[in-house]
Structure formats: structure tokens, C-alpha cells
């Protein structure tokens, strides 16, 4: 049975999801001093008691408020996506940042319709920033401590990127493990690397003009890493895609994005295809010789 997206994303329903994200974020802050930490697949893949508690809270509330939808959470082993509308939850995106208490983590709740992002919210509790939106609505930022609300929109100036663009350097966000796996990116003198934790916050920083582009080359991002940020990015006019596609696929019930993920200002997809693919080709040719 198909669900009515207008009912799901009514003003009241959106407000309830935003309040849920806020409650989860505040709970994360309250729990921080007493958390337990365990490894999932290895020492760099950690889960805390807060991740699990927030997941239980969010999943339980979404099931009650949206019985006509499916729900997937990073901390829930059951992959349930039998409905056309699927909530995708990352209770703490940036668990390592949460453990380190550097503030660069977020609560993320996204909604897919027929495997396409239609809504997302990202709450940054350490700094009172709530971001939300979707391609059928605007993108917004709310300062939760002052209630100040502002519309988010991508910068539209063209030809912005280094090495051929009007900027001397491109402000690129790429994870530490990704850069370690592709060390040649460190030698590109037209790139400034910008470091942020949560992927949701990476997208927010682009919209706040603190970075230009986020690239993940390793092909190991999961749908709960990207569903909410992609919806907000699309709402604000950012480009969201891969090296080969101008859109980002969500291959449920498979949870991995098998291809590099690119989110950034206008021109990001073509810049990545030209710059990164060219550099990769140079390395392949050099290795062959």
C-alpha cells in the first residue's frame, strides 16, 4: 500500500520529527559521562550505550507516529524496508567524535520514498544547530537556544574550484581513512583540506560557506550516513551524486553505497570527475611504467 507523502510531511508531523531529534540529542548529552563503549567490527567501529538508547527512542517513536512506514536504524540489526516510505536513522553520526567530546556529532533522521531522499533532519546538540529540509521543500537552520530560523541555500557562483576555477584552492572534506587510502590527494596544491566529523555536519558546513565539497572515495558509506544529509543538500541546491551518476542511489535492502559519494556546491560532480579521475589515471599510468 502506498503512503501519502503529504500526510507524512505535514507541518505537524515534521515538527514532531524535529522534536524527536532534539530530545535524542539532549539525551546524548545527558548520557555522555556514563556511557559504555564496545567494538562492533573493530577498534575504529565503536558503539556506545548512548547510540543504542537513542536508537531505541527514535525507532519506538517513529513506529508509533508513522505506522504506515518502514524504519531502519544503524543500531537495529533488522533491515525493514517493505514499505514505499522508509525512515533511515543514525542515532549518533560521528560516534568517535561523541566519545572524544569534540562536539562534531549529530542525530540524523532521514526519509526515503521509493529509495529517493525526501526529508532529512540533522541536529548538532553541542552547538544548538538543527538543520532540516527536503527536495519538495526548502532547507532550514534553527538555532535551538535562540529560536532563530534561517533558510539554507547553496551558493550559485559558478567556476569556483581550484585548478581551473576562480578559487586558488578548493575547500575539500575527506575522511582521514579515505585520505590514508588515497595518499596522492595530499600532493594536490589546489586543495585545502577541511576537517569535520559527522557527515550531516559536513553538508551543513558547505551550506554555511565553510567548505566547498565532501567526497568519500572508499565506497563504504551506508544509507544511514547519507539519507538525511542528502535530502537537506538537495533541498538547498547542492549537487548529490557519484563519479558516474548525477544522483545518489539508495540500494535497500543493501545498506552500502558501493560507489564514491559526492556532495557539494554547483560544479562539484564535474570537478571530481575531472580532477580525481584524472589523478587516478595518472597514477595508473605511472604504476604501469
pLDDT for residue 90? 96
The bridge status of strand 170-173 relative to strand 191-193 is: parallel
How many CA within 13 A on the CB side of residue 125? 26
**Whether residue 30 has pLDDT greater than 80:** yes
pLDDT 10s digits, 113-133: 999 999 999 999 999 999 999
Model pTM score: 0.91
Lookup result for grid cell 555522555 = 32
Q: Residue 127: which residues within 8 A CB-CB, separation 6 or more?
A: 103
CATH for the 170-288 domain, from 3.40.190.80, 3.30.70.260, 3.40.50.1100, 1.10.240.10: 3.40.190.80
Percent of the chain predicted with pLDDT > 90: 60
| pLDDT(187) > 90 | no
pLDDT tens figures, 165-183: 556 688 999 887 788 887 8
> In whole angstroms, what is the distance from residue 114 CA to residue 34 CA?
39
∠ CA 197-89-137, nearest 5°, is 90
Q: How confident is the model at residue 190 (pLDDT cuts 50, 70, 90)?
A: confident
Cβ atoms of 165 and 188 closer than 8 Å = no
Record: fold of 5-152: Fructose-1,6-Bisphosphatase; Chain A, domain 1 (3.30.540)
Question: So where are the chain's domains?
Answer: 5-152, 170-288
Give mean pLDDT, residues 98-113.
95
CB atoms within 10 A of CB 205: 18
The pLDDT of residue 160 is above 70: no
Look-up of cell digits 562534531: 104
Three cell numbers written together for 226? 547519507
pLDDT digits (tens, 9 = 90+) for 43-97: 667 788 999 999 999 999 999 999 999 999 998 867 778 889 999 999 999 999 9
| b/e 106-116 (16+ beta carbons within 10 angstroms → b) | bbbbbbbbeeb
pLDDT band with cut points at 50, 70 and 90 for residue 288: very low
CA-closest candidate to residue 214, choices 229, 235, 231: 229
- pLDDT, one tens digit per residue, over 252-268 is 999 999 889 999 998 89
Residue 33 scores a pLDDT above 70 = yes
- Banded model confidence at residue 279, pLDDT cuts 50, 70, 90: low
What is the spatial distance between Cα 107 and Cα 130, in angstroms, rounded to a whole number? 9
Q: What span, in angstroms and rounded, lies between the C-alpha atoms of 99 and 96? A: 5
Helical residues (DSSP H) of 185-243, grouped into ranges: 199-207, 223-236
Instruction: Give the three-class secondary structure for 215.
Output: strand
Per-residue model confidence (pLDDT) at position 227 = 97
How many Cβ atoms from other residues are within 10 Å of residue 150's Cβ? 11
Q: Which residues contact 58 (CB under 8 A, 6 or more apart)?
A: 20, 21, 24, 73, 89, 91, 107, 109
Domains 5-152 and 170-288 share a fold: no
**Is the distance from CB of 215 to CB of 272 less than 8 angstroms?**
yes
Q: Among all chains, which residue has been given the C-alpha cell 522534536?
A: 19
Amino acid at each position: 500500500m502506498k503512503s501519502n507523502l503529504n500526510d507524512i510531511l505535514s507541518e505537524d508531523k515534521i515538527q514532531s520529527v524535529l522534536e524527536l531529534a532534539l530530545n535524542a540529542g539532549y539525551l546524548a548529552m545527558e548520557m555522555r559521562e556514563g556511557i559504555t563503549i564496545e567494538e562492533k567490527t573493530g577498534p575504529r567501529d565503536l558503539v556506545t550505550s548512548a547510540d543504542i538508547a537513542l536508537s531505541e527512542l527514535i525507532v519506538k517513536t517513529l513506529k508509533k507516529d508513522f505506522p504506515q512506514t518502514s524504519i531502519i536504524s544503524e543500531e537495529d540489526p533488522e533491515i525493514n524496508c517493505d514499505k514505499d516510505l522508509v525512515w533511515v536513522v543514525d542515532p549518533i553520526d560521528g560516534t568517535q567524535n561523541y566519545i572524544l567530546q569534540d562536539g562534531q556529532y549529530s542525530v540524523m533522521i532521514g526519509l526515503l520514498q521509493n529509495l529517493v531522499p525526501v526529508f532529512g533532519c540533522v541536529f548538532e546538540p553541542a552547538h544548538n544547530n538543527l538543520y532540516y529540509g527536503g527536495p519538495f521543500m526548502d532547507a532550514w537552520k534553527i538555532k535551538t537556544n535562540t529560536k532563530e530560523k534561517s533558510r539554507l541555500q547553496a551558493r550559485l557562483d559558478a567556476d569556483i574550484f581550484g585548478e581551473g576555477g576562480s578559487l586558488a584552492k578548493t575547500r575539500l572534506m575527506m575522511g582521514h581513512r579515505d585520505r590514508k587510502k588515497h595518499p596522492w590527494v595530499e600532493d594536490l596544491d589546489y586543495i585545502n583540506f577541511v576537517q569535520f566529523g559527522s557527515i550531516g555536519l559536513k553538508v551543513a558546513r558547505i551550506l554555511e560557506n565553510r567548505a566547498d565539497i565532501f567526497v568519500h572515495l572508499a565506497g563504504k558509506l551506508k544509507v544511514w550516513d547519507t539519507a538525511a544529509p542528502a535530502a537537506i543538500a538537495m533541498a538547498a541546491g547542492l549537487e548529490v551524486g557519484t563519479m558516474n551518476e548525477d544522483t545518489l542511489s539508495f540500494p535497500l535492502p543493501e545498506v552500502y553505497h558501493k560507489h564514491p559519494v559526492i556532495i557539494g556546491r554547483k560544479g562539484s560532480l564535474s570537478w571530481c570527475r575531472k580532477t580525481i579521475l584524472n589523478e587516478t589515471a595518472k597514477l595508473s599510468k605511472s604504476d604501469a611504467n
